[in-house]
Structure 1
Amino acid sequence: MIHPTALIDRKAEVAEGVTIGAYSVIGADVKIASGTQIGSHVVVKGPTSIGKDNRIYQFASIGEDPQDKKYAAEVTRLEIGDRNTIREFTSMHRGTKQDRSVTRIGSDNLFMAYTHVAHDCLIGDHVIMANGASLAGHVRLNSHAILGGFTLVHQFTQIGEYSFAAMGSAITQDVPPFIMVGGKPTRPHGINSVGMERNGISADDIRLIRKAYKIIYKTNLRLEDAIEQMEDMAGDSKPVSDMVSFLRNVTRGILR
């Protein structure tokens, strides 16, 4: 299960059933749970915890120091959940003490080749980052979001659940849940109805999300006034309530 050329630090904790390929390096303070498969030439640096049944392909760099000039070798960490697929040349960095000291990744995500997750990012579940997509530091990428190939996300930006960014998007402000963005410059282009349908969101909720989109983007209202209108029509719709909650906590304004 562990190739004889792999280097594993004595302070690493590797559960039974973990596969580690040729010439991979597992550093101190790394914890790897059962069922995870690590390919050849992978470097994992601690403190990093990796959950169950992940698949990490060759040449990935996991848990390296953050690319932050303020970083001064403080003890920070990377936490990865279960059943993630991390493809070739992906890089994921630990957090910084200026934030929560942790980069945290959920479960059931797909990180395609050459993707990058910077320090202090928080990623939910069932996220897809296509080839070359990159997150700057302190980004929050919520569950079921999809980033097309070579999408770039500015630091401290929030990406809402079920949102979709087309190939080559440059995201410099928060993207509300359920919204599709794309183009140069990157702008909103309707709602991600296909993604919502595939994940079992009801036709009534999709109809209300479409109405909310029109309130935000087609009425020329101030964001505060748009939020009030959305609250009035939300009723018992959890997706609309989630969108309202997101909009009340934007950090960089929303992409409009």
Structure 2
Amino acid sequence: MSIDPSAQVHPSAVVEDGAVIGADCVIGPFSIVGPEVTLARGVVLKSHVVVTGKTEVGEETEIFPGACIGEIPQDLKFDGEKTRLIVGARNRIREGVTMNTGTKGGGGITRVGDDCLFMTGAHVGHDTTVGNRVILANQAALAGHCHVEDDVIIGGLSGIHQFVRLGRGAIIGAVTMVTSDVIPYGLVQGPRGELDGLNLVGLKRRGVARSDISALRAALQMLRQGEGQFQERAVRMAEESDSAYVEEITKFILGESDRGFLIPR
């Protein structure tokens, strides 16, 4: 066990032999830190937090009461193999959040980026990759093997099916089930998620130029009503636009997909 002298560990907390606790960490009452856990500088565990498994938590991440981070996957095929959870810096992981380690069949690592917010009761399943600045609202759940790119927002009580990809800047409405890939900057809503437009609010907040937003609107219209197969429309869409944002959507559509795509209504 290695605990930096500047760390604060409450007397009722349990830090098991082998854990590495960095400078300026705070481990609150009745929290448990497992023997293969590494907490980087400034990590804060409020009270009653469990961090276990082969788990790394990045600098200044704050974990709130009742969260359970690094437990084994919820996968019947899991056979006790050594897998990992890597959580980046400056994340806020609120009450009751769960994040599982990976599985051998999925590459062995569940990975979370930087500056994310996981609200109460959110779940990150095994072998899932979450980018930077992602928000999961209350009780939102990512199943195993999902890939969530940067700046995605997932509304409360929503579920993302196994192997689904969510493109950068997409937004998922509340109480929505997403069973297919969502293009970058897409807006998805409805009980059985439907691609219903663009995340225009998010684009404007990020200061995307009006010309690029217009190009994205035209691209979505081509995807919706153009001739040929969906992938063929995407190729033609890129040929007719010089917008980097449109090119990003094209690359996403032409990339490897295990679930197919939500098609614009």
**Shorter-chain TM-score category?**
over 0.9
Cα drift, residue 247 of structure 1: 0.2
Matched, 1:31 2:50: no
Cα drift, residue 220 of structure 1: 5.7
RMSD: 1.0
Match of 2:238 in 1: 231
Matched, 1:125 2:132: yes
Counterpart code for 1:9: E
Residue 112 to residue 220, structure 1, CA distance change in 2 (3 Å): farther
Match of 1:245 in 2: 251
Structure 2 Cα separation of the partners of residues 233 and 28 of structure 1: 56
Match of 2:203 in 1: 196
Structure 2 Cα separation of the partners of residues 26 and 214 of structure 1: 51
- Deviation string for 1:126-173 (max 9, x for gaps)? 100000100110000110010000110100000111101110110000
Match of 1:59 in 2: 66
Residue 90 to residue 119, structure 1, CA distance change in 2 (3 Å): same
Cα drift, residue 200 of structure 1: 2.2
Structure 2 Cα separation of the partners of residues 218 and 180 of structure 1: 17
Match of 2:9 in 1: 2
Structure 2 Cα separation of the partners of residues 172 and 120 of structure 1: 17
Question: What is the correspondence of 1:72-87 to structure 2 with a 5 Å cutoff?
Answer: 72-87=79-94
Structure 2 Cα separation of the partners of residues 88 and 125 of structure 1: 20
Matched, 1:109 2:120: no
Structure 2 Cα separation of the partners of residues 148 and 206 of structure 1: 23
Is the partner of 2:106 in helix, strand or coil? coil
Structure 2 Cα separation of the partners of residues 220 and 228 of structure 1: 12
Matched, 1:222 2:229: yes
Counterpart code for 2:122: T
Question: What is the correspondence of 1:44-193 to structure 2 with a 5 Å cutoff?
Answer: 44-193=51-200
Cα drift, residue 185 of structure 1: 2.6
Cα drift, residue 211 of structure 1: 1.0
**Alignment length, in residue pairs?**
255
TM-score normalised to the size of structure 2? 0.94
Cα drift, residue 224 of structure 1: 2.0
Cα drift, residue 10 of structure 1: 1.5
Structure 2 Cα separation of the partners of residues 158 and 227 of structure 1: 17
Match of 1:211 in 2: 218
Structure 2 Cα separation of the partners of residues 220 and 78 of structure 1: 44
The share of aligned pairs that are identical, in percent, is 36
Structure 1 Cα separation of the partners of residues 143 and 191 of structure 2: 19
Q: Is the 8 A contact 2:73 2:126 kept in 1?
A: yes
Q: Is the 8 A contact 2:53 2:72 kept in 1?
A: no
